[in-house]
Structure 1
Protein backbone atom coordinates (compact mmCIF):
# COMPACT_ATOMS: atom_id res chain seq x y z
CA UNK A 1 0.00 0.00 0.00
CA UNK A 2 2.87 2.41 0.78
CA UNK A 3 4.13 2.06 -2.80
CA UNK A 4 0.71 3.08 -4.10
CA UNK A 5 0.68 6.16 -1.88
CA UNK A 6 4.15 7.14 -3.11
CA UNK A 7 2.97 6.83 -6.74
CA UNK A 8 0.02 9.09 -5.98
CA UNK A 9 2.35 11.58 -4.30
CA UNK A 10 4.59 11.51 -7.38
CA UNK A 11 1.58 12.43 -9.48
CA UNK A 12 0.21 15.24 -7.33
CA UNK A 13 1.40 17.26 -4.39
CA UNK A 14 -1.62 18.36 -2.46
CA UNK A 15 -2.56 18.67 1.18
CA UNK A 16 -6.24 17.78 1.75
CA UNK A 17 -6.08 19.17 5.30
CA UNK A 18 -5.44 22.64 3.91
CA UNK A 19 -8.53 22.45 1.72
CA UNK A 20 -10.61 21.24 4.67
CA UNK A 21 -9.42 24.09 6.90
CA UNK A 22 -9.94 26.58 4.10
CA UNK A 23 -13.60 25.56 3.92
CA UNK A 24 -14.12 25.69 7.70
CA UNK A 25 -11.83 28.66 8.45
CA UNK A 26 -11.47 30.59 5.18
CA UNK A 27 -8.96 33.11 6.55
CA UNK A 28 -6.64 30.42 7.95
CA UNK A 29 -5.14 29.33 4.63
CA UNK A 30 -3.60 31.47 1.91
CA UNK A 31 -4.29 31.17 -1.79
CA UNK A 32 -0.81 29.83 -2.51
CA UNK A 33 -1.37 26.99 -0.04
CA UNK A 34 -4.41 25.81 -2.00
CA UNK A 35 -2.65 25.72 -5.37
CA UNK A 36 -1.93 22.19 -6.52
CA UNK A 37 1.29 20.95 -8.01
CA UNK A 38 0.87 17.89 -10.19
CA UNK A 39 2.54 16.11 -13.06
CA UNK A 40 1.94 17.78 -16.40
CA UNK A 41 -0.32 15.93 -18.85
CA UNK A 42 -0.57 16.37 -22.60
CA UNK A 43 -4.04 17.83 -22.01
CA UNK A 44 -2.31 20.71 -20.15
CA UNK A 45 -0.35 21.77 -23.22
CA UNK A 46 -2.85 24.39 -24.52
CA UNK A 47 -2.64 26.26 -21.19
CA UNK A 48 1.11 25.72 -20.93
CA UNK A 49 1.64 26.95 -24.50
CA UNK A 50 -0.43 30.09 -23.84
CA UNK A 51 1.80 30.93 -20.86
CA UNK A 52 4.95 30.06 -22.82
CA UNK A 53 4.02 32.28 -25.78
CA UNK A 54 2.99 35.18 -23.56
CA UNK A 55 6.27 35.13 -21.59
CA UNK A 56 8.97 34.44 -24.16
CA UNK A 57 10.18 36.21 -27.30
CA UNK A 58 11.26 32.81 -28.71
CA UNK A 59 8.91 30.31 -27.03
CA UNK A 60 9.33 26.56 -27.04
CA UNK A 61 7.09 24.76 -29.49
CA UNK A 62 4.61 22.12 -28.40
CA UNK A 63 6.94 19.50 -29.91
CA UNK A 64 9.63 20.39 -27.34
CA UNK A 65 7.20 19.82 -24.48
CA UNK A 66 6.17 16.49 -26.02
CA UNK A 67 9.85 15.54 -26.28
CA UNK A 68 10.19 16.30 -22.55
CA UNK A 69 7.40 13.81 -21.88
CA UNK A 70 9.10 11.21 -24.09
CA UNK A 71 12.44 11.76 -22.33
CA UNK A 72 10.67 11.16 -19.01
CA UNK A 73 11.67 14.55 -17.61
CA UNK A 74 9.94 15.70 -14.45
CA UNK A 75 7.23 17.99 -15.87
CA UNK A 76 4.89 19.78 -13.45
CA UNK A 77 2.07 22.29 -13.47
CA UNK A 78 0.79 24.51 -10.70
CA UNK A 79 -2.96 24.88 -10.94
CA UNK A 80 -5.84 26.55 -9.19
CA UNK A 81 -9.45 25.62 -9.96
CA UNK A 82 -8.27 23.58 -12.98
CA UNK A 83 -6.43 26.56 -14.46
CA UNK A 84 -2.71 26.21 -15.12
CA UNK A 85 -0.88 29.12 -13.48
CA UNK A 86 2.65 27.95 -14.22
CA UNK A 87 4.80 24.99 -15.15
CA UNK A 88 8.28 23.61 -14.58
CA UNK A 89 10.48 21.00 -16.24
CA UNK A 90 13.46 19.24 -14.69
CA UNK A 91 15.96 16.83 -16.17
CA UNK A 92 17.86 14.51 -13.81
CA UNK A 93 20.81 12.47 -15.02
CA UNK A 94 24.14 11.22 -13.68
CA UNK A 95 23.81 12.92 -10.31
CA UNK A 96 22.88 16.30 -11.81
CA UNK A 97 19.54 18.05 -12.10
CA UNK A 98 18.91 20.76 -14.66
CA UNK A 99 15.96 23.15 -14.54
CA UNK A 100 15.01 23.35 -18.20
CA UNK A 101 12.02 25.65 -17.87
CA UNK A 102 10.06 27.32 -15.12
CA UNK A 103 7.40 29.84 -16.05
CA UNK A 104 4.45 31.58 -14.39
CA UNK A 105 1.53 33.27 -16.15
CA UNK A 106 2.20 37.01 -16.34
CA UNK A 107 -0.90 37.90 -14.29
CA UNK A 108 0.20 35.50 -11.53
CA UNK A 109 3.84 36.56 -11.19
CA UNK A 110 5.12 37.89 -7.89
CA UNK A 111 2.73 35.76 -5.82
CA UNK A 112 5.06 32.92 -4.82
CA UNK A 113 4.10 30.44 -7.54
CA UNK A 114 7.61 30.32 -9.01
CA UNK A 115 9.06 29.71 -5.54
CA UNK A 116 6.54 26.92 -4.89
CA UNK A 117 7.45 25.24 -8.18
CA UNK A 118 11.20 25.64 -7.61
CA UNK A 119 10.90 24.15 -4.12
CA UNK A 120 9.09 21.19 -5.68
CA UNK A 121 11.87 20.72 -8.25
CA UNK A 122 14.51 20.81 -5.52
CA UNK A 123 12.61 18.18 -3.52
CA UNK A 124 12.12 16.09 -6.65
CA UNK A 125 15.89 16.12 -7.26
CA UNK A 126 16.90 15.54 -3.63
CA UNK A 127 18.44 12.11 -3.23
CA UNK A 128 18.74 11.72 -7.00
CA UNK A 129 21.18 14.55 -7.75
CA UNK A 130 23.97 16.35 -5.94
CA UNK A 131 23.79 19.60 -7.88
CA UNK A 132 21.00 21.50 -9.62
CA UNK A 133 21.82 23.80 -12.53
CA UNK A 134 19.87 26.40 -14.47
CA UNK A 135 20.36 29.26 -16.89
CA UNK A 136 18.65 32.63 -16.59
CA UNK A 137 18.69 35.84 -18.59
CA UNK A 138 20.59 38.64 -16.83
CA UNK A 139 17.60 40.86 -17.66
CA UNK A 140 15.28 38.60 -15.61
CA UNK A 141 16.06 40.25 -12.29
CA UNK A 142 12.98 38.84 -10.51
CA UNK A 143 14.00 35.27 -11.33
CA UNK A 144 17.61 35.93 -10.35
CA UNK A 145 16.46 37.28 -6.97
CA UNK A 146 14.34 34.15 -6.42
CA UNK A 147 17.19 31.80 -7.37
CA UNK A 148 19.67 33.60 -5.13
CA UNK A 149 17.17 33.59 -2.26
CA UNK A 150 16.79 29.82 -2.75
CA UNK A 151 20.57 29.36 -2.46
CA UNK A 152 21.70 29.26 -6.09
CA UNK A 153 25.12 30.74 -6.89
CA UNK A 154 26.43 32.08 -10.18
CA UNK A 155 29.02 29.74 -11.69
CA UNK A 156 29.50 31.21 -15.16
CA UNK A 157 28.09 32.86 -18.25
CA UNK A 158 26.96 31.29 -21.53
CA UNK A 159 27.58 33.87 -24.25
CA UNK A 160 24.73 34.44 -26.72
CA UNK A 161 22.65 31.64 -25.20
CA UNK A 162 19.17 33.12 -25.60
CA UNK A 163 17.51 34.52 -28.72
CA UNK A 164 16.57 38.16 -28.21
CA UNK A 165 14.75 40.80 -30.22
CA UNK A 166 18.04 42.36 -31.32
CA UNK A 167 20.27 39.32 -31.64
CA UNK A 168 21.28 37.15 -28.68
CA UNK A 169 21.40 37.51 -24.90
CA UNK A 170 23.87 35.86 -22.55
CA UNK A 171 22.75 33.46 -19.84
CA UNK A 172 23.90 33.41 -16.25
CA UNK A 173 24.65 29.87 -15.15
CA UNK A 174 23.58 29.12 -11.60
CA UNK A 175 24.04 26.06 -9.40
CA UNK A 176 22.69 24.77 -6.10
CA UNK A 177 24.22 22.00 -4.03
CA UNK A 178 21.46 19.61 -2.95
CA UNK A 179 22.05 17.80 0.32
Structure 2
Protein backbone atom coordinates (compact mmCIF):
# COMPACT_ATOMS: atom_id res chain seq x y z
CA UNK A 1 0.00 0.00 0.00
CA UNK A 2 1.16 3.49 -0.85
CA UNK A 3 -0.51 6.83 -0.18
CA UNK A 4 -1.76 7.09 -3.76
CA UNK A 5 -3.90 3.96 -3.07
CA UNK A 6 -5.88 5.75 -0.35
CA UNK A 7 -8.58 7.25 -2.58
CA UNK A 8 -9.54 3.80 -3.91
CA UNK A 9 -9.17 2.23 -0.47
CA UNK A 10 -11.62 4.77 0.92
CA UNK A 11 -14.18 3.88 -1.76
CA UNK A 12 -13.94 0.20 -0.72
CA UNK A 13 -13.87 1.01 3.02
CA UNK A 14 -16.92 3.28 2.87
CA UNK A 15 -18.85 0.67 0.88
CA UNK A 16 -18.01 -2.18 3.23
CA UNK A 17 -18.36 -0.94 6.79
CA UNK A 18 -21.07 0.78 8.81
CA UNK A 19 -18.32 2.46 10.85
CA UNK A 20 -15.41 2.82 8.40
CA UNK A 21 -11.89 3.98 9.13
CA UNK A 22 -11.10 7.54 8.13
CA UNK A 23 -8.41 8.40 5.60
CA UNK A 24 -6.36 9.78 8.52
CA UNK A 25 -6.40 6.36 10.22
CA UNK A 26 -5.06 4.78 7.03
CA UNK A 27 -2.39 7.51 6.73
CA UNK A 28 -1.30 6.72 10.30
CA UNK A 29 -0.61 3.12 9.19
CA UNK A 30 2.57 4.08 7.35
CA UNK A 31 4.75 3.47 10.42
CA UNK A 32 7.83 1.21 10.64
CA UNK A 33 5.99 -1.42 12.70
CA UNK A 34 2.94 -1.48 10.40
CA UNK A 35 2.48 -3.60 7.28
CA UNK A 36 -0.18 -2.12 4.97
CA UNK A 37 -0.89 -4.37 1.97
CA UNK A 38 -3.04 -4.16 -1.14
CA UNK A 39 -4.38 -6.93 -3.33
CA UNK A 40 -4.56 -6.12 -7.03
CA UNK A 41 -6.91 -7.60 -9.61
CA UNK A 42 -5.02 -6.70 -12.75
CA UNK A 43 -4.66 -2.93 -12.57
CA UNK A 44 -7.53 -2.53 -10.11
CA UNK A 45 -7.25 -2.49 -6.32
CA UNK A 46 -9.24 -5.49 -5.12
CA UNK A 47 -8.64 -5.30 -1.39
CA UNK A 48 -6.30 -4.31 1.41
CA UNK A 49 -5.07 -5.30 4.83
CA UNK A 50 -3.27 -3.51 7.63
CA UNK A 51 -1.13 -5.42 10.11
CA UNK A 52 0.74 -3.95 13.06
CA UNK A 53 3.72 -5.90 14.35
CA UNK A 54 3.90 -5.52 18.13
CA UNK A 55 6.61 -7.42 19.97
CA UNK A 56 6.18 -10.97 18.62
CA UNK A 57 2.58 -10.71 17.39
CA UNK A 58 1.19 -9.48 14.10
CA UNK A 59 -2.12 -7.75 14.89
CA UNK A 60 -4.47 -7.74 11.90
CA UNK A 61 -6.25 -4.40 12.17
CA UNK A 62 -8.24 -4.32 8.93
CA UNK A 63 -8.84 -6.68 6.01
CA UNK A 64 -11.35 -5.80 3.32
CA UNK A 65 -12.07 -6.72 -0.30
CA UNK A 66 -14.44 -5.18 -2.82
CA UNK A 67 -18.01 -6.31 -2.26
CA UNK A 68 -18.21 -7.95 -5.70
CA UNK A 69 -15.14 -10.07 -4.88
CA UNK A 70 -16.30 -11.19 -1.44
CA UNK A 71 -16.83 -14.94 -1.21
CA UNK A 72 -14.58 -15.59 -4.23
CA UNK A 73 -11.27 -16.24 -2.44
CA UNK A 74 -9.75 -12.76 -2.59
CA UNK A 75 -9.92 -12.29 1.19
CA UNK A 76 -8.45 -15.75 1.77
CA UNK A 77 -5.59 -14.98 -0.64
CA UNK A 78 -4.82 -11.70 1.13
CA UNK A 79 -5.07 -13.37 4.56
CA UNK A 80 -2.66 -16.14 3.55
CA UNK A 81 -0.23 -13.58 2.19
CA UNK A 82 -0.17 -11.50 5.36
CA UNK A 83 0.23 -14.66 7.48
CA UNK A 84 3.25 -15.68 5.39
CA UNK A 85 4.69 -12.16 5.73
CA UNK A 86 4.17 -12.22 9.50
CA UNK A 87 6.07 -15.51 9.67
CA UNK A 88 8.89 -14.01 7.56
CA UNK A 89 8.96 -11.06 9.97
CA UNK A 90 9.57 -13.54 12.81
CA UNK A 91 6.19 -13.10 14.48
CA UNK A 92 5.03 -15.89 16.80
CA UNK A 93 1.31 -15.38 16.08
CA UNK A 94 -1.33 -13.38 14.23
CA UNK A 95 -4.01 -11.83 16.43
CA UNK A 96 -7.28 -10.18 15.33
CA UNK A 97 -10.69 -9.02 16.44
CA UNK A 98 -13.83 -9.65 14.41
CA UNK A 99 -17.40 -8.47 14.98
CA UNK A 100 -19.48 -11.17 16.62
CA UNK A 101 -22.07 -10.67 13.84
CA UNK A 102 -19.56 -11.00 10.96
CA UNK A 103 -20.12 -14.70 10.32
CA UNK A 104 -18.45 -14.80 6.86
CA UNK A 105 -15.21 -13.32 8.23
CA UNK A 106 -15.33 -15.51 11.31
CA UNK A 107 -15.81 -18.58 9.12
CA UNK A 108 -12.82 -17.61 6.97
CA UNK A 109 -10.53 -17.10 9.97
CA UNK A 110 -11.57 -20.36 11.65
CA UNK A 111 -11.16 -22.27 8.37
CA UNK A 112 -7.61 -20.86 8.08
CA UNK A 113 -6.67 -22.23 11.51
CA UNK A 114 -7.32 -19.30 13.85
CA UNK A 115 -8.38 -20.21 17.38
CA UNK A 116 -11.15 -18.37 19.23
CA UNK A 117 -9.43 -17.13 22.41
CA UNK A 118 -11.89 -14.68 23.91
CA UNK A 119 -14.29 -11.77 23.67
CA UNK A 120 -13.79 -8.01 23.90
CA UNK A 121 -17.15 -6.73 25.18
CA UNK A 122 -18.57 -3.62 23.49
CA UNK A 123 -15.51 -3.32 21.25
CA UNK A 124 -17.09 -2.10 18.01
CA UNK A 125 -19.52 0.77 17.44
CA UNK A 126 -22.86 -0.50 16.14
CA UNK A 127 -26.08 0.99 14.79
CA UNK A 128 -27.54 0.68 18.28
CA UNK A 129 -24.87 0.87 20.96
CA UNK A 130 -21.82 -1.36 20.80
CA UNK A 131 -21.00 -4.88 19.58
CA UNK A 132 -18.69 -7.49 21.06
CA UNK A 133 -15.58 -8.65 19.21
CA UNK A 134 -14.37 -12.22 19.07
CA UNK A 135 -10.61 -12.39 19.56
CA UNK A 136 -8.81 -14.93 17.37
CA UNK A 137 -5.19 -16.07 17.31
CA UNK A 138 -3.15 -18.09 14.84
CA UNK A 139 0.15 -19.48 16.17
CA UNK A 140 2.98 -19.32 13.60
CA UNK A 141 6.01 -21.51 13.10
CA UNK A 142 8.99 -19.19 12.70
CA UNK A 143 11.82 -21.68 12.27
Query: TM-score range with shorter-chain normalisation?
Result: over 0.9
Structure 2 partner of 1:55: 16
Structure 2 partner of 1:65: 26
2:57 to 85, 96, 101: 96
Structure 1 partner of 2:78: 117
**Higher relative contact order by CA 8 Å / sep ≥ 6: 1 or 2?**
2
How far apart, in 2, do the equivalents of 1:119 and 1:111 lie?
Answer: 14
8 Å Cα contact 2:33-2:53 kept in structure 1: no
Please list the CA deviations of residues 73-123 of structure 1 after superposition, one character each: whole Å capped at 9, or x if unmatched: 111111123211110011112111100100011111011000000001101
TM-score normalized with structure 1 length: 0.76
Measured after TM superposition, the shift of residue 138 of structure 1 is 1.3
Is the radius of gyration larger for structure 1 or structure 2? 1
Q: How does 1:13-162 map to 2 (within 5 A)?
A: 40-127=1-88, 128-162=90-124
8 Å Cα contact 2:99-2:124 kept in structure 1: yes
- Structure with more of its chain in helix, by fraction: 1
How far apart, in 1, do the equivalents of 2:124 and 2:48 lie?
Answer: 20
Consecutive unaligned residues in structure 2, runs of 5 or more: none
1:44 counterpart SS class: helix
Q: Which runs of 4+ in 1 moved over 2 A?
A: none
Consecutive unaligned residues in structure 1, runs of 5 or more: 1-39
How far apart, in 1, do the equivalents of 2:50 and 2:31 lie?
Answer: 13
Measured after TM superposition, the shift of residue 71 of structure 1 is 4.7
Structure 2 partner of 1:167: 129
Q: How many residues get paired?
A: 140
Question: Cα RMSD (Å) of the superposition?
Answer: 1.0
8 Å Cα contact 2:60-2:95 kept in structure 1: yes
